[in-house]
Amino acid sequence: VTEVKEGMAVERNRVYVIPPDKKMALSNGVLHLVPRDATTRPIDFFLESLAHAQQSRAIGVILSGTATDGTLGLCAIKAEGGITFAQDEKSAKYDSMPRSAIASGSVDFVLRPEEIAEELARIGPHPYVNHARAKKGEALAFEDLAGEKPPEGGATAALGKVFSLLRSKTGADFTHYKHATIMRRIRRRMFLKKADTLDGYVQFLERNPAECAALYDDILIHVTGFFRDPKAFEVLKRKVVPALLKGRDRDVPIRVWVPGCSTGEEAYSLAIALLEHLGEKAPRTPLQVFATDLSEKAIAQAREGVYPAHSAARLSETRLRRFFIKTEHGYRIAESVRKWVAFARHDVTKDPPYSRLDIISCRNLLIFLEPLLQRRVFAALHWALKSDSYLMLGSAETVGELSDYFRVVDSKQKIYCKKSSSVPLQSDFFSRQGLMPEEAVPLPRHPVVGVLDVQREADRLVLDEYGPPGVVVDEDMEILQFRGHAGPYLDPMPGAATLKLLKVARGELLFDLRAATHRAKKTNAPVRKDGIKVDVEDNTRTINLHVLPIAGQPGRKRHFLVLFQEVPAARAFARKAAEPGPQRGKAEVETDRTRRLEQELKAAKSYLRSAVEDQEAFNEELRTANEEILAANEELQTTNEELETAKEELQSTNEELTTLNEELQNRNQELAQAASDLRNVLSSTFTGILLVGRDLRIRFFTPEAEKVLNLISTDVGRPIRDIRPALQIPDLERMVEEAVDNVQTKEIEAQGPEGRHYSLRVRPYMTPEKKIDGAVVALMDITERKRAEQALANSEEHFRSLVEGIRDYAILLLDTDGSVVNANTGAEEALGYQSEEIQGKHVSCFLPGQNRELAEYELASAKAAGRYETEALRVRKDGSAFWADVVTIALREASGKIRGFAAVVRNISARKQAEELSRQLSLRMMEAQDEERRRISRELHDSAGPSLAALVMNLARVEKAASGLNRTVRGALSESLKLAKECSQQLRTMSYELHPPLLEEAGLASALRWYLEGFAKRGEVKTELEIPPDLVRLSKEVEFTIFRVVQAAVSNVHRHSGSPTAKVRIVSDTDRVIVEVKDEGKGMPAKVAEGLGIRGMRERVGQLGGNFEIVGNREGTTVRASIPAAGSLAGLQVVRAGGGIPENRESRRSTH
C-alpha cells in the first residue's frame, strides 16, 4: 500500500492511497496530484481521468460509501467502453454510493465484494481488457473482434446481420455510423455475454431480443450533463443570445433544436441559459426548445425531468434554487423551465428537420457518423436554420469544407453562424427513402415460366425476325427502347452521349423524321412518309417512315413508335435497273430512268413545297410556343421553387406538429393521471366536496357529499336548486351565488340527521387565469369537534371555578404584549386592584418603578425557555412593595406559536423575613466566632506563648549544664527541648491562623504572602501568588473572608487533590474582588465539596453578597469567589415586622 506522490508511475500489484486534501488523476501511466477544492468529487475526478486514459481497458468499482461520488466516473468509463462494478446494496454498510451508481444505469455487474474479486480475476487476462486498443478512435480489426480469423467476407456478413437485427428491433439503421465505435460496443457486449466469436454473438442476438436492446443502449452513448462545457454556454449568453434579441419582435419565439438530446440535460441547460439572460423579460419572450433523440428510454427520462443528486453536482446553489425542486433522492426540473421544452423521438439522419430555428445545439453527435451521413445531417441543419442563426457543435467537431455556408463565431467553443447569402445544401433528407440500407433494396424475383410466357417469347422472336426495325420514344423524342435492328438508320454525332432521336438519326432522315414526328404529336394520329432514300453501306435503300402514337393513360406522357420499313420492291427494281437485259436497249433504259427521276423530282418538289409550308407554319407555331414556353417556364420555375419550399416547410411543420402532438399526448396522459389521482384523493377523504359551475349546475361530487346531500350519479348537470340535502341549510343556492358574485368565502354550521353537525363552506372556484368559474362546496363532519368544544367549555368552567377559589396566588393571563387579559380573585388581594381595573394593564405596572425593560426581559425569557421563575419585588396599587415568587409560563398553540402568557404571583414576604432573621442569626454567630478566635489567639499569644518561650529557654540552659550527666538524661533533655520548640512554633502558627495580626496591621497581600511562604516551607505544597501591586485596603470583613477562603482552599489542595502546586490569584476592579485557587490535581471528592469547610466558605462569601463556586475538570480544580469590594457584614439589614424591605436584593433562577 503506497501513498501517492506527484509524478509516481503506476506499477502492478500496488494499492495507491490519495493524500489528504488532494485529488488524483492518471495520465500516460503517471499519477498526478492537484489541490482539492470544496466542490471537488475526488472519486469522479479520478475515474474520469482513468476512462480517458485507458478507454475500454478501464475498470471502475464502487463499494460501500456515503453520498454519490463515483457515479459520474462510472458513466465516463462505460462511455469509453470500460467495465463497471458496484457492490450489492444489501451487503454494503453504507449503500448511498452503490445505490446512486446502480440507479444511473451505468453499472455492468452488481455483486457482493467477494464476487467482484472473482469476476475481476476472470476478466483480468481476457483479450478485451488485456489487449484493447489504447489509441482513441482506432478501429478494431475483425480478427480482434471475433477472437479468430474469419473466412473472407465472413465478418462483414456477420456485422451486416447485427445491423439488420438492430434495424428490425429498434428501427434505427447504424450502417453509416463509424464502424470503430460500433465495433467497440459490439466487442464490449460480447465480453459481457462471454461470446467468443461474432457469429456466436449474432446467434445470441437472434435468440435474445433483450440483448438487442442492451446493445442499442450501449451504441447510443448517453454521456451528458447540465452545462457540460460551461464556457460554451458563457459564449452563448455573451455573443449569441444578444445578437438574436437585437431588433427582435417581442412576440416572436426563440426556437431551439437539440438533436441527440439524450436524457435532456443539454436541452434544459439551454433553456436555463436563455431564461437567465432574459431575466425579467423571460415571461414576455416565448421559447420553443425541441429536444430529440433516437432512444425512447432516454426521451421518457427527459420528459419526466427528475435527476439524481450527482447529476446536479456541478450546478451552483443559485441555479438549483431557481430552476430545480429538491426531491427525496435528487432534483426535479421546475415547471418554469419544463414548460418550454418539448421532447420527441427523431432520427436526424433520415427524418425531416425542424424549420425556422434560431439555435441548433448538435454537440458530440456528428463524431459518430461517417462522412456521407455527416454531410446529410449538415444539409438538414443548414436548411433548418434561419439566416444569421447559430449552430453549436462539440469540441471535436467542425463544419470542415462547409465554411462557405457557415461563418465562425467562436472557434474554440465551436459555435457557427449560418451565412445569410449561402444557398441551401443539396440533400435528399426530405426523401422518404433517404439512405436506403443495402438489404432494403428489393431483389429481382425469379421468373416463373408458363404457357403465357412461351407465347410472349414466340411473339418477340417473330417481331425481331420479320418486323420492321424501330424505336420507342416519348414526347420529348427521348429513345426509351430499341426494337429490331435499327442500327442502319442511326448515326450518333460526336460529342456528349445522348438518346435524343433527332440527334442520333442519320442525316438523310432528319428532315422527314422531324416533320413526321411533329405532325404525329400535333394530330395524335399515325403519320407515314414513303420513298425516303437512305445510303447504307454504299447502297441506297428506300424506306417508308411510320410514326405511330402509343395509347396510354390520360394525363400521362405520350409515347410514339417510329418504324423504318424498307421497301422490298424498290430494292428489286433497283437491282433490275442496274442490270441491263439483252432484250432491252440502252435508250429504253435511259428513258425509263429519266421518267422515274422526273417522277421522283416532281414528287420531291411537291413534298418540298408542302414541307416548306408546313415548316413555315411550324416555325411560326414554334416561335409562338417558344414565347409561351419561355413565359410558362419562368412561371413554372418560380412555382416549382415555391412548391419545393412549401413542401419542405410542410414536411418540417408536420415533423414539428408530430413532436408537439406527442408532447400533448404525454401531457394529456399526465393530466388524466393527475385527475385520477385527485379524484381518488378526494374520494378517500372524509370531507364532502361538491363542485358547481358558473351556471350553478353540478359538475362533480365526492361519495361523502353524495351521502350528506342526498345526491345520485345522475345529478351531475342538474341545477343546485333541485337538490334536497339532508342538512338544515337555509338557502344553499343563495350562498353559492353570493360567494361567486362577491368573490368571498361563505361558511355556516348546519345540523344533520342523527344529531350530527357539519361545517359547510362555499368558496369561489378560480381558474389559473384568475377568473371565477363556479364554486366549491366543502362539507366537513364536525360532530366530534363540537363534542370536544363542549367538553373543553365544561373543563374551562371547572378550571375557572378552581382558579377563582385560589386566593393565596395571583394568577394573571397575559396577551403576547404582556397586557392583562384576565385575572383571578387572588390577584385583587395580592395586587390591590379590582377585577375591572386590572384588565388591560401591562405587567410592568406591578414592578418597582414600572420597569418595562425588566418586564419584557421576563416575558422574553419565558418565551425562549417555556418557563421563567424569579424572586423579586412587586408593587401593589397603593405603592407598597412586597417580595414575591413569580412564575411566568409561555402559552403556545399546537403549531408552537405563542398565544400569550400566564403569570403566577405568590407573596413570600413572610419567608423573606424569616430568611433575613436567619441570616442575622448567622451573622451574629460568625461575629461571635470571629471574636472568640481573636480572644483565643490573643490568649495563646499573650499567655501560653511567653510561657512556652520561657520553658524553651530554661530547657536550653539545662541542656548546656547537663554535660556531665549520663547519655540517657542528656537525650531526654534534648528531646524535651525539641518538643518544646515544636509546641512553641505550633502555638504561634495556631494563634496566627485563628486571627492573623498581620492581616490587620499590614493588609491582605502581606498576610497571604506570609501564609503561603510558610505553607511552602513546611514542604507541603509549592504555592504561587498573583496579586495586584496596587491593591487597596479592603474592609476587614472582606479581607478576612478572602484570607479564610485561600487558607481553606490551599489546605484542601494539600489534603485531597495530590497536586504539587497551588496557584492563588487575586483580581480587583472598582466594585468586586475575585479570588481563585487552582490546582493541577485529581479533583476534589464529592464529600469534601459538601463538607463543613466548603460550606463555611460559601456562607461567609454569601453573607458579603458574593458568589462562590468550585469548577473541576481533567486539568484540576478551581475554587473561585467573587465578593463586592465594599462588602460589609455590618451593612446587612434585618427585615423587621412592619419594616421596609431593601430594594437592592434580588435572586433569579430559570427552569426549563
* 417 inside domain: yes
Q: What is the DSSP letter of 1091?
A: S
The CA distances from residue 328 to 94, 306, 878, in Å, are: 17, 11, 64
> Exposed/middle/buried for 7, CB within 10 Å: 0-12, 13-18, 19+?
exposed
Do 896 and 954 reside in the same domain of the chain?
Answer: no
Do 244 and 388 reside in the same domain of the chain?
Answer: yes
Q: What is the pTM of this model?
A: 0.44
Amino acid at 398: T
Nearest CA-CA partner of 259 in 376, 108, 365:
365
- Phi and psi at residue 475, to the nearest 5°: -70, -10
- Please tell me the distance from the alpha carbon of residue 1019 to that of residue 1115, in angstroms, as a whole number: 23
Do 974 and 1015 reside in the same domain of the chain?
Answer: no
Do 306 and 366 reside in the same domain of the chain?
Answer: yes
Do 270 and 362 reside in the same domain of the chain?
Answer: yes
- Strands in 828-939 per DSSP E: 867-875, 881-892, 898-907
- Please tell me the distance from the alpha carbon of residue 607 to that of residue 1082, in angstroms, as a whole number: 146
Do 755 and 814 reside in the same domain of the chain?
Answer: no
* 20 inside domain: no
* 633 inside domain: no
Domain final position from 407, 437, 467: 437
* 622 inside domain: no
Do 273 and 415 reside in the same domain of the chain?
Answer: yes
* 66 inside domain: no
Domain count, the chain: 7
pLDDT attached to residue 560: 92
Do 344 and 485 reside in the same domain of the chain?
Answer: no
The residues, any chain, with a CB within 8 Å of residue 1048's CB and separated by 6 or more, are 1093, 1094, 1096, 1097
Report whether 125 contacts 103 (CB < 8 A).
no
User: What CATH number is associated with residue 811?
Assistant: 3.30.450.20
Do 871 and 955 reside in the same domain of the chain?
Answer: no
Amino acid at 341: V
**DSSP states along 616-676:** HHHHHHHHHHHHHHHHHHHHHHHHHHHHHHHHHHHHHHHHHHHHHHHHHHHHHHHHHHHHH
State the number of CA atoms in the 13 A half-sphere of 7 facing the CB: 0
pLDDT attached to residue 1135: 31
Q: What is the DSSP letter of 56?
A: G
Q: What is the DSSP letter of 944?
A: I
Amino acid at 30: V
Domain final position from 406, 437, 468: 437
* 1104 inside domain: yes
Domain final position from 532, 564, 579: 579
Sign of CA dihedral 1020, 1021, 1024, 1027: negative
- Please tell me the distance from the alpha carbon of residue 670 to that of residue 664, in angstroms, as a whole number: 10
- Please tell me the distance from the alpha carbon of residue 10 to that of residue 1119, in angstroms, as a whole number: 62
Tell me how crowded residue 647 is: count the other CB atoms within 10 A of its CB: 11
* 1094 inside domain: yes
The residues, any chain, with a CB within 8 Å of residue 439's CB and separated by 6 or more, are 160, 164
Do 919 and 901 reside in the same domain of the chain?
Answer: no
- In the three-class reduction of DSSP (H, G, I as helix; E, B as strand; rest coil), residue 394 is classed as coil
pLDDT attached to residue 599: 61
Nearest CA-CA partner of 99 in 52, 72, 64, 147:
64
β-strand partners of 1143: none
* Domain hosting residue 465, numbered range: 452-579
The residues, any chain, with a CB within 8 Å of residue 10's CB and separated by 6 or more, are 16, 26, 29, 30, 31
Do 1047 and 920 reside in the same domain of the chain?
Answer: no
> Which grid coordinates belong to 452?
403465357
Average pLDDT per block of 10 residues along the chain, 1152 residues long: 88 88 88 80 88 86 88 85 89 88 86 89 77 40 40 64 88 86 86 84 88 87 85 92 87 91 93 90 86 90 87 87 87 90 89 90 90 89 91 90 87 90 59 44 38 56 72 89 84 81 85 84 87 78 89 76 79 49 63 70 64 73 76 72 70 76 79 78 76 88 83 84 80 85 86 82 84 88 82 70 67 91 84 85 89 90 91 89 92 88 89 77 70 70 68 76 75 81 73 67 81 77 86 81 84 80 87 88 63 73 83 83 69 32 33 26
Do 264 and 197 reside in the same domain of the chain?
Answer: no
Amino acid at 442: P
User: What CATH number is associated with residue 1138?
Assistant: 3.30.565.10
- Please tell me the distance from the alpha carbon of residue 356 to that of residue 671, in angstroms, as a whole number: 30
- In the three-class reduction of DSSP (H, G, I as helix; E, B as strand; rest coil), residue 580 is classed as coil
Model pLDDT for residues 138-148, shown as the tens digit of each residue: 333 334 443 33
pLDDT attached to residue 138: 38
* 733 inside domain: yes
Amino acid at 472: V
